[in-house]
Amino acid sequence: MDDQWIKSAKFLIVDDQEFNISLLERILRRAGFTGLHSTTDPARLAVLYNEIQPDIILLDLHMPEMDGFAALQLLREWKQADDYLPVLVLTADVTQEAKQKALHEGASDFLTKPFDRTEVVLRIHNLLNTRFLHLQLQKQNQLLEERILERTKELEHAKFEILELLGRTAEYRDDETGQHTQRVGKMAGKIALALGLPEHEAELIQLATPLHDIGKIGIPDGILLKPGRFTPEEFEQMKLHTSIGADILAGSQFPVLQLAGTIAGSHHEKWNGTGYPNGLKREEIPLPGRIVAIADFFDALTHERPYKKAWTQEEALTEIRKQRGEHFDPLVVDVFLSIIEKGEHFIEKREKEMV
């Protein structure tokens, strides 16, 4: 037990009789206690409680204007739910009714007037021991909570990093920079926000989107890296990356991976029902898939790939306008174009890609 802490504990003595306060202070000083504060005016309890932040309160039960019972009620309201602040009631009223009422209102123990020096010191020492242990427990709990929070943040960071690395896994096969997935994710997040989705949903879309093409790991290099157009047979095989991606991500318990699976399986569906893999149309296509469809399309057009040169932004926007209501959800197109009109740039410098 930390005896030094106990000796320096902060006392607040509330008694309308100056004689009682003086007597208690003499007893406490002789016992080695130093942090003594007192008042004969119970109306000052609130001010002194906030100023001193006492470790123990010695409270007279019978006082004019505001008695000890009313003071106990106030203290119970002020204390935190998980706090332990001992209140030692001073009284000459030793009736069972008075004790029960005081205990009900939050009293910790009693000192009967006239005071016995040894009893005063022992009861106070016991209460302060409990107070000290409670504070130590609170400190340990706080440290534990901080460590848990720190560990949780580390795990969250690791989760986001894993998502990013998984998204880049497939892209490195046909995008030397591996940045396509991140660009599309950021673009999709901005579109989602502009559509009025809650911030946490937009953030989830941004985090999930980089996995939209993870199914490409199941496509042979001869098709994935082929320059020029696919044959009909090759295109059918290439389309399988949507179903492969959805299958890879199926069954996850994590919302971000569940959403990623939805996006992987729907980002090549078309508003008019001619997309793949399921030929969904209009609102049958999940909204995240409709959002990622336009972000993926724009980024693919404006960046060089093994099978094509990069388009200019204006060329890509012209094509998107042409596909409004055909390939793309008209509302998503309008929101995307409004973002562009506000000066947002989705094309980054591509010197490394153009080498």
Summarize pLDDT for 22-65 with one digit per residue, the tens. 999 999 999 999 999 999 999 999 999 999 999 999 999 888 88
Integer CA distances (angstroms), 243 to 166, 167, 204, 259, in order: 17, 16, 21, 14
Spell out, as residue ranges, where the chain has pLDDT lower than 70. Answer: 1, 94, 167-178, 305-307, 344-355
> What's the pLDDT at 20?
92
> What's the pLDDT at 303?
83
138 and 24 in a single domain? The answer is: yes
336 and 207 in a single domain? The answer is: yes
Which stretches of the chain are DSSP H helices?
Answer: 3-7, 18-30, 45-52, 68-78, 96-104, 117-171, 180-194, 199-208, 221-224, 232-249, 255-266, 287-301, 313-322, 330-341, 351-354
Strands 10-14 and 56-60: parallel
> What's the pLDDT at 9?
94
Residue 323: phi and psi, rounded to 5, are -90, 5
Q: What is the CATH number of the domain that holds 273?
A: 1.10.3210.10
Buried-state track 194-214, b at ≥16 Cβ within 10 A, e below 16: bbebeeebbebbbbbbbbbbb
236 and 190 in a single domain? The answer is: yes
Taking the chain, what is the end-to-end CA distance rounded to the nearest angstrom? 72
236 and 348 in a single domain? The answer is: yes
The reply to whether 84 falls in a domain is yes
241 and 182 in a single domain? The answer is: yes
138 and 278 in a single domain? The answer is: no
> What's the pLDDT at 266?
95
Residue 127 neighbours by CB distance under 10 Å: 22
**DSSP notation for 278-292:** S---GGGS-HHHHHH
Q: What is the CATH number of the domain that holds 97?
A: 3.40.50.2300
9 and 94 in a single domain? The answer is: yes
The reply to whether 162 falls in a domain is no
253 and 117 in a single domain? The answer is: no
Residue 91 neighbours by CB distance under 10 Å: 19
The reply to whether 48 falls in a domain is yes
The reply to whether 158 falls in a domain is no
Residue type for 60, please?
A: D
181 and 319 in a single domain? The answer is: yes
Assigned token pair, 264: 């992987």
Supply angle C-alpha 290, 293, 296, rounded to 5.
150
> What's the pLDDT at 112?
86
The reply to whether 137 falls in a domain is yes
The reply to whether 303 falls in a domain is yes
pLDDT tens-digit profile of 251-290? Answer: 888 888 899 999 999 999 999 999 999 999 999 999 999 9
> What's the pLDDT at 272?
95
Question: Could you tell me the residue range of the domain that residue 28 belongs to?
Answer: 3-144
User: What are the beta bridge partners of residue 276?
Assistant: none
Q: Does residue 288 have a cis bond before it (omega within 30 degrees)?
A: no
> What's the pLDDT at 346?
63
The reply to whether 344 falls in a domain is yes
117 and 177 in a single domain? The answer is: no
139 and 225 in a single domain? The answer is: no
> What's the pLDDT at 59?
94
Q: State the pTM of this model.
A: 0.58
> What's the pLDDT at 160?
73
For the chain, the domain total comes to 2
92 and 206 in a single domain? The answer is: no
User: What are the beta bridge partners of residue 38?
Assistant: 13
> What's the pLDDT at 174?
57
The reply to whether 155 falls in a domain is no
Residue 12 neighbours by CB distance under 10 Å: 24
